């Protein structure tokens, strides 16, 4: 399946059929595909791109103010991801040369295991909740 077919199936772009039943894309499709490609380079998930595009009119190129709104929204997400990655990098620094993968000491191994505070094993099954 071509990328254009995929984007069309996902509702990101639209086409018209000519008399020979061939798909024809308007000039606005170039702008939409460009935005999709930029978003993908930024690591924006397809679901997010679909959500943002759903707010645009079905036909016509996104206007400058619409692109600015998308860019602002994605900049916030990108900054959050950068902060998260920097935190992970800091944690990873501690692991270099260690290799313990200790459930108690390693900041990366089994991180965010909130249930471990309630005890070992299948805590939810044991408590019946
Ligand atoms: S591997 Fe030892 S602290 Fe992460």
pLDDT at 128 over 70: no
In testing the pocket of ligand 1, which one of 97, 100, 111 has its CB within 8 Å of the most ligand atoms?
Answer: 100
The strand pairing partners of 16, in sequence order, are: 24
Nearest CA to ligand 1 atom 2: 100
d(CA 91, ligand 1 centre) in Å:
9
Beta-carbon count within 10 A of 49 CB? 21
For 5-34, the pLDDT digits (tens) are 999 999 999 999 999 999 999 898 999 999
For 43-102, the pLDDT digits (tens) are 999 999 999 999 888 778 888 999 999 999 999 999 999 999 998 898 888 888 888 888
The mean pLDDT of 109-127, rounded to a whole number, is 76
Q: Residue 9 class from Cβ within 10 Å (0-12 exposed, 13-18 middle, 19+ buried)?
A: exposed
Nearest CA to ligand 1 atom 3: 106
Q: For residues 56 and 62, is the Cβ–Cβ distance under 8 A?
A: yes
Classified as helix, coil or strand, 53 is helix
pTM over 0.75: no
Query: Domain coordinates of the chain in residue numbers?
Result: 3-110
CA distance 27 to 47: 24
* Confidence label for 114 from pLDDT (cuts 50, 70 and 90): confident
Classified as helix, coil or strand, 16 is strand
Architecture in CATH of 3-110: Orthogonal Bundle (1.10)
Half-sphere exposure of 102 (CA within 13 A, CB side): 7
d(CA 68, ligand 1 centre) in Å:
42
The mean pLDDT of 106-114, rounded to a whole number, is 79
Residue 13: name the closest of 45, 38, 44, 49 by CA. 49
What is the model's pLDDT at position 102? 83
């Amino acid at each position: 399946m071509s990328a254009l077919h995929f984007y069309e199936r996902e509702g990101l772009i639209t086409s018209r059929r000519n008399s020979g039943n061939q798909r024809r894309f308007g000039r606005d499709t170039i702008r939409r595909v460009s935005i999709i490609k930029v978003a993908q380079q930024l690591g924006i998930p397809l679901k997010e791109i679909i959500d943002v595009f759903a707010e645009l009119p079905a036909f016509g190129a996104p206007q400058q103010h619409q692109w600015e709104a998308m860019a602002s929204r994605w900049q916030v997400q990108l900054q959050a991801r950068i902060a998260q990655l920097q935190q992970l990098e800091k944690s990873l620094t501690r692991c270099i040369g260690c290799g313990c993968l200790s459930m108690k000491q390693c900041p990366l191994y089994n991180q965010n295991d909130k249930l471990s505070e309630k005890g070992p094993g299948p805590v939810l099954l044991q408590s019946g909740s």
